[in-house]
């Protein structure tokens, strides 16, 4: 049952660094224009690889968001996390003080943590020996150093947690933050996800799985969720972070109310290491759990930001799951996958997509699924193909489904003045 007695939870800050740009404004402009952030990989020589493209960050300078000393001691995924958190906290404008610091926490998700650091120091070990390993090696790469460093940067002393649930990680982080405020009375939570794994080992590993696209001749068209000719997801990197706050407190201080979190659901597939179960049965239970948590009927949802990875089974079974949950209404419900533009940011995906969902509600404009050229007869819903669409949406859903059969769904509500 929905928790009607709990506190209301506002979103008062948002921060994104992604292949589409640095900051919320740059990302929103790119998403609504239907512009891809995918291009050739520049981080390493890709000549030996089946896939030679990804969604890399462009123009990012970690020194703009943290001290040069910290930059040297931390992996890129932590740089991205701190940057997105700083953007979110700057927008929120909430001062962290001795009086409130214990009531503000940080929960961040990541799928693979500091893989680039691991690769780099494995080379050091093999070529130069163990004595040349940096004393910062371990804290540079462990997943919980993203929320750990954010807590240090902002002085927040409440719950400090890392979530590692593959591609659901950021969604789970936001959902847990939402429940801590709603049900346990915390004042605020910095929540989201970060990922930086465009590395030789990761690309090689996903190639070995045959999970990522090999459309090297047209990388900007490679991520094509729900399209019949999809051939795998496209890797991306970056971070998406929201600041969640007790609604009553936010209103009292005149904070920007960017939306409200009203529901969160989780489920497990217990089926396969990487594939979803037929019909998306786990996703069905996850979406229904979020609707129940929010106290909504399926028809109350006006838009879904789909997980939509551009892989055969995910797109098919998410479509089937939506049909099961929403019935005939599914055919009138707009759905889009912004991974068609950002690529798949893995553990950060849910954070970026939560923010895009909130922006779609705020601006009354639904982001498109680009590269939708050849309809798949089995994926026959309204995927907002190729162009953004004006629409008034009061409640929207964002889905994330991860390897290991771990699922998360968030529901947001517009707070209109």
pLDDT tens profile 364-382: 999 999 999 999 999 999 9
Would you call 344 a catalytic residue per the annotation?
yes
pLDDT interval class at 417 (50, 70, 90): low
Would you call 307 a catalytic residue per the annotation?
yes
Catalytic, out of 106, 167, 286, 395: 167
**pLDDT number for residue 271:** 84
Would you call 106 a catalytic residue per the annotation?
no
For residue 164, which of 232, 114, 234 has the smallest C-alpha distance?
114
Does residue 2 register a pLDDT over 80? no
Q: Is 223 a domain residue?
A: yes
Catalytic, out of 191, 307, 379, 395: 307
Q: Is 101 a domain residue?
A: yes
Q: Is 228 helix (H, G, I), strand (E, B) or coil?
A: coil
pLDDT interval class at 269 (50, 70, 90): confident
Mean pLDDT of 37-62: 97
Q: At what angle do helices 145-154 and 76-92 cross, to 10 degrees?
A: 40
Report the percentage of the chain scoring pLDDT > 90: 94
Which two three-digit tokens encode residue 52?
């030679």
Give the count of domains, the chain: 1
Of all helices (H) and strands (E), which one includes residue 183?
helix 169-184
Q: Is 403 helix (H, G, I), strand (E, B) or coil?
A: coil
pTM, full prediction:
0.96
Catalytic, out of 172, 344, 379, 395: 344
Does residue 11 register a pLDDT over 90? yes
Mean pLDDT of 380-399: 98
Q: Is 245 a domain residue?
A: yes
**pLDDT number for residue 79:** 98
**pLDDT number for residue 275:** 77
Does residue 4 register a pLDDT over 60? no
Q: Is 65 a domain residue?
A: yes
Q: Is 68 a domain residue?
A: yes
Neighbouring C-beta atoms of residue 3, cutoff 10 Å: 13
**pLDDT number for residue 3:** 44
For residue 18, which of 334, 344, 357 has the smallest C-alpha distance?
344
Q: Is 241 a domain residue?
A: yes
**pLDDT number for residue 5:** 58
**pLDDT number for residue 403:** 86
Mean pLDDT of the chain: 96
Say which DSSP state 253 is in: T
Question: 3-state SS of the chain: helix, strand, coil percent to 5?
Answer: 40, 20, 35
pLDDT interval class at 185 (50, 70, 90): very high
Q: Which residue has the tokens 């001062």?
A: 95
Mean pLDDT of 10-30: 98
Neighbouring C-beta atoms of residue 2, cutoff 10 Å: 13
pLDDT interval class at 6 (50, 70, 90): confident
CATH of the domain at 309: 3.40.47.10
pLDDT digits (tens, 9 = 90+) for 88-125: 999 999 999 999 999 999 999 999 999 999 999 999 99
Q: Is 385 a domain residue?
A: yes
Does residue 274 register a pLDDT over 80? no
**pLDDT number for residue 356:** 98
Are 333 and 322 in contact by the 8 Å Cβ rule? The answer is yes
Give the integer Cα–Cα distance in Å for 1 and 264: 12
Mean pLDDT of 291-309: 98
Give the integer Cα–Cα distance in Å for 341 and 61: 22
- Residue numbers of the domain that contains 37: 10-413
Q: Is 289 a domain residue?
A: yes
Neighbouring C-beta atoms of residue 160, cutoff 10 Å: 17
Are 256 and 91 in contact by the 8 Å Cβ rule? The answer is yes
**3-state secondary structure labels for all residues of 108-154:** EECCCCCHHHHHHHHHHHHHHCHHHCCCCHHHHHCCCHHHHHHHHHH
């Amino acid at each position: 049952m929905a928790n009607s007695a709990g506190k209301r939870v506002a979103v008062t800050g948002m921060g994104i660094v992604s292949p589409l740009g640095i900051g919320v404004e740059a990302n929103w402009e790119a998403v609504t224009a239907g512009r891809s952030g995918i291009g050739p990989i520049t981080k390493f020589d890709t000549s030996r690889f089946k896939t030679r493209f990804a969604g890399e960050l462009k123009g990012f300078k970690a020194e703009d968001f943290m001290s040069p000393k910290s930059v040297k001691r931390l992996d890129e995924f932590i740089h991205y996390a701190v940057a997105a958190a700083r953007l979110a906290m700057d927008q929120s404008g909430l001062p962290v003080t001795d009086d409130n610091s214990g009531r503000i926490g940080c929960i961040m998700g990541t799928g693979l943590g500091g893989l680039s650091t691991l690769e780099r120091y494995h080379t050091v070990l093999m070529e130069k020996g163990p004595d040349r390993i940096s004393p910062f090696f371990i804290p540079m790469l462990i997943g919980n150093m993203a929320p750990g460093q954010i807590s240090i940067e902002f002085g927040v002393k409440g719950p400090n947690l890392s979530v590692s649930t593959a591609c659901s990680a950021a969604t789970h982080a936001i959902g847990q933050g939402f429940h801590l405020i709603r049900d346990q009375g915390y004042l605020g939570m910095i929540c989201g996800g970060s990922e930086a794994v465009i590395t030789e080992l990761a690309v090689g590993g996903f190639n070995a799985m045959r999970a990522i696209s090999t459309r090297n001749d047209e990388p900007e068209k490679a991520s094509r969720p729900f399209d019949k000719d999809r051939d795998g997801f496209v890797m991306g990197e970056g971070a998406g972070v929201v600041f969640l706050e007790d609604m009553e407190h936010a209103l009292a201080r005149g904070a920007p109310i960017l939306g409200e979190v009203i529901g969160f659901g989780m489920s497990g597939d217990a089926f396969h290491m990487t594939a979803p179960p037929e019909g998306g049965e786990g996703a069905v239970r996850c979406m229904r759990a979020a609707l129940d948590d929010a106290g909504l009927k399926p028809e109350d949802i006006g838009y879904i930001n789909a997980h939509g990875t551009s892989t055969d089974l995910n797109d098919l079974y998410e479509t089937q799951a939506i049909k099961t949950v929403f019935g005939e209404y599914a055919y009138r419900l707009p759905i889009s996958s912004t991974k068609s533009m950002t690529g798949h940011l893995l553990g950060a995906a849910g954070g970026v997509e939560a923010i895009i969902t909130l922006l779609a509600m705020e601006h009354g404009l639904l982001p498109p699924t680009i590269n939708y050229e050849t309809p798949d007869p089995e994926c026959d819903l309204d995927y907002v193909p190729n162009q953004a669409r004006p629409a008034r949406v009061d409640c929207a859903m964002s889905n994330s489904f991860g390897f290991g059969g771990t699922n998360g769904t968030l529901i947001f509500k517009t707070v209109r003045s």
